C-alpha cells in the first residue's frame, strides 16, 4: 500500500506503537515530535484519542473506513487508504493551502491505530457501499 505520509511521520507512528505496547503511554519526547511534525492539530487529535472518538468500520469484503466524532460532535468518515477527510480543515489547510500533512481527524485515526485505541465495528458490504457512495451515514 502506498503511504501518503513522509518517512519521518511513518517512523513516528511506529515508535509510538512500539513504546505504547511496553508502557501504554506515549512518552514526552514522542509527544513533542508529534507537535513538531503535525503542528497545532496534534493536541486536538490527542484529545480525540483520549475521548475514544475513533471507530473502525470493517465489512466482510475487507473494506475499512474510520468514523471520527469531531470536537463539535459532528461525525466525519475518513479514508486513510486514500488520505481523505471531509472536514473543512482538511479541504482548506491540507488540499488548498498545502500547510499541513493532515487534519486532526486523520491524525487521530493514525494515533488510534498506533496505540490500539480504535473501537471496532462490523458493517455489511451493503452498508459499506452506501457509506462509500456518500449517500448515507451509518
pLDDT given at position 138: 44
pLDDT given at position 23: 81
pLDDT given at position 4: 60
SS3 106: helix
Which residues lie below 8 Å from residue 38, measured CB to CB, with a gap of 6+? Answer: 9, 45, 100, 101, 102, 107
* pLDDT tens, residue order, the chain (138 aa): 345 678 889 999 999 999 987 888 899 999 999 999 999 899 999 999 999 999 999 999 999 999 999 989 999 999 888 889 999 999 998 888 888 889 999 999 999 999 998 999 999 999 999 988 874 444
| The 119-122 sheet, strands edge to edge | 75-78, 64-69, 54-58, 119-122
Compute the chain's Rg from CA coordinates. Answer: 15
Amino acid at each position: 500500500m502506498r503511504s501518503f505520509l513522509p518517512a519521518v511521520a511513518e517512523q513516528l507512528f511506529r515508535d509510538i506503537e512500539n513504546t505504547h505496547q511496553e508502557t501504554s503511554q506515549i512518552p514526552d519526547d514522542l509527544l513533542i515530535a508529534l507537535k513538531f511534525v503535525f503542528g497545532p492539530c496534534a493536541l486536538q487529535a490527542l484529545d480525540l484519542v483520549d475521548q475514544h472518538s475513533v471507530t473502525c468500520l470493517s465489512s466482510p469484503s475487507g473494506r475499512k473506513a474510520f468514523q471520527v466524532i469531531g470536537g463539535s460532535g459532528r461525525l466525519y468518515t475518513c479514508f486513510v487508504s486514500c488520505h481523505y477527510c471531509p472536514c473543512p480543515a482538511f479541504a482548506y489547510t491540507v488540499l488548498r493551502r498545502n500547510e499541513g500533512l493532515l487534519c486532526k481527524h486523520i491524525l487521530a485515526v493514525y494515533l488510534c491505530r498506533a496505540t490500539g485505541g480504535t473501537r471496532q465495528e462490523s458493517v455489511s458490504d451493503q452498508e459499506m457501499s452506501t457509506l462509500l457512495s456518500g449517500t448515507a451515514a451509518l
